[in-house]
Amino acid sequence: MLERKRRKDGTEITFVIPADTPPGPVSVVGDFNDWRPGAHELRARKDGTRAVTVALPGESTHAFRYLAAGDYWFNDESADGQEGANSRLHT
């Protein structure tokens, strides 16, 4: 799930997944962090989910995926679309 918060200089996107699915550490990786695993690792929240917030510039489009332990890649069903194997996000 994606949560969006508009700012005057861009948009904060919070990437949210369930706390236990998939198990182990999960990072969001994409063109906004040069596809670096671990750069934006999701952390547990009190509501039973895991999340990380990334500040992105206004009016932009980004490709991303989630990367879990064991080299398990997956997409976000609430993304703005798909491009090949990647999820798409529009700010």
Query: pLDDT tens across 7-27, in order?
Result: 988 999 999 999 988 999 999
d(CA 73, CA 85): 10
Asked if the bond preceding 22 is cis, omega within 30° of 0, the reply is yes
Q: Mark residue 39 as left, alpha or beta (left: phi above 0; alpha: psi -120 to 50; beta: remaining).
A: alpha
Domain 2-90: give its CATH code. Answer: 2.60.40.10
> In angstroms, rounded to a whole number, what is the distance separating the alpha carbons of residues 55 and 32?
9
67 band by pLDDT with thresholds 50, 70 and 90: very high
Per the CB < 8 A criterion, the answer to whether 51 and 18 are in contact is no
pLDDT at 59 over 90: no
Whole-prediction pTM = 0.93
pLDDT for the residue 39:
96
Q: What pLDDT score does 37 carry? A: 94
Extract the tokens encoding 83.
């491009």
